[in-house]
Amino acid sequence: MAGDDKRVVIAIVEGRKLRGRALDSLGKLPPFSPILNRLLASLAREDISFIRLADIIEKDTVLAGNVLRLVNSALYGRRATVNSVRHAVSLLGINKLRNATLSMSVTRLWNQVRMPRGWSMAKFNLHSVANAMLSDAISQAAPVEYAEGAFAAGLFADLGRLLIALALPDEHEQIRGLCTSKRFSRCECEMEVFGFTHAELSADALEIWNLPEEIREAVLQHHTVYDEPSGEDGVRLSTVVRTTDLYVNAIGYPTDTLDEGPVDAAMAQLEMFGLGERLGTVIEEFLVEFNGIRAMF
């Protein structure tokens, strides 16, 4: 075997080992509760009822308490106190409640993980939840493929970055060093170091969690720039997640300061969805919802 070929083979084998170590660290994350598993399963169901969703939430005392705290917050300006989860679901609607409960449940789990120095779980949680909420808001306003999966795709798009930082802290810092030059994107730096990207790792993890294929595909492709942003049934979900990710980074909620970018450029990307004047309303509603939920974690 020629020297160059041998080096390629060694790099591939080493990359597979690193990918395996990163995926193995998924087991270091706290296991999903039965409540969270039911919430995730409900993502693929458009026909879930108010009663069913309330029943799921009521089985988790902490979650139910946070839901009532949210609906009674100044954000929603209720004159009378809401004392039941079922009433809260009827007031806020299934989508907002499901989004809020998924956000609170997942971030509560991730906050239990002991991460290496230099990693901010608070920043990661804020970025992930903001990306999820804006992805969902855009998908409610524009024709998007598999719109019902937008929240989960946004929430878990960067899960691979968490796994890399958890299992491969030295390589994680190496990637940050490469990204500092600004000459290469994060995915390019990951390919240089690992031979795979965090997006691929995120998709692998979601397959282990048995999330719908459409969500996994959107996560896998969320850094891919297509010549045409739309597919047969509307805007590609991956394009929505990629674009909202840029905007969330730009308005001050990046996982890493290296991810920050100009707001004007991010807004220009959002404008390609053709929402026109409605875009301002969608962003305003997203910010109201996000500012309400971020106080919960």
Domain that holds residue 77: 31-112
Question: Which is more confident, 281 or 226?
Answer: 281
pLDDT of residue 7: 45
Token reading at 43: 């993502």
Q: Are residues 131 and 194 in the same domain?
A: yes
Tally of domains in the chain: 2
Q: Are residues 62 and 137 in the same domain?
A: no
Summarize the confidence of residues 62-68 as an average pLDDT: 84
Domain boundary, last residue among 78, 96, 112: 112
Q: With 60 as the cut, is the pLDDT of residue 10 above it?
A: no
pLDDT of residue 51: 79
Summarize the confidence of residues 234-257 as an average pLDDT: 95
**At CA 96, angle to CA 69 and CA 107, rounded to 5?**
65
Q: Are residues 92 and 154 in the same domain?
A: no
Summarize the confidence of residues 224-250 as an average pLDDT: 86
* pTM for this predicted structure: 0.86
Q: Is 256 helix (H, G, I), strand (E, B) or coil?
A: coil
Q: Specify burial of residue 34 (Cβ count, 10 A radius: 0-12, 13-18, 19+).
A: exposed
Domain boundary, last residue among 85, 112, 139: 112
Domain boundary, last residue among 112, 134, 167: 112
Q: With 50 as the cut, is the pLDDT of residue 5 above it?
A: no
Summarize the confidence of residues 269-291 as an average pLDDT: 92
Q: With 80 as the cut, is the pLDDT of residue 84 above it?
A: yes
The reply to whether 189 falls in a domain is yes
Range of lowest pLDDT (29-33, 150-154, 173-177): 29-33
Q: Are residues 39 and 139 in the same domain?
A: no
Q: Specify burial of residue 67 (Cβ count, 10 A radius: 0-12, 13-18, 19+).
A: buried
Token reading at 212: 């719908």
Q: Are residues 129 and 237 in the same domain?
A: yes
Q: Are residues 150 and 233 in the same domain?
A: yes
Q: Are residues 127 and 213 in the same domain?
A: yes
Q: Are residues 107 and 233 in the same domain?
A: no
Q: Which tens digit of pLDDT belongs to each residue from 97-143?
A: 778 888 888 888 888 888 888 899 999 999 999 999 999 999 999 99
The reply to whether 9 falls in a domain is no
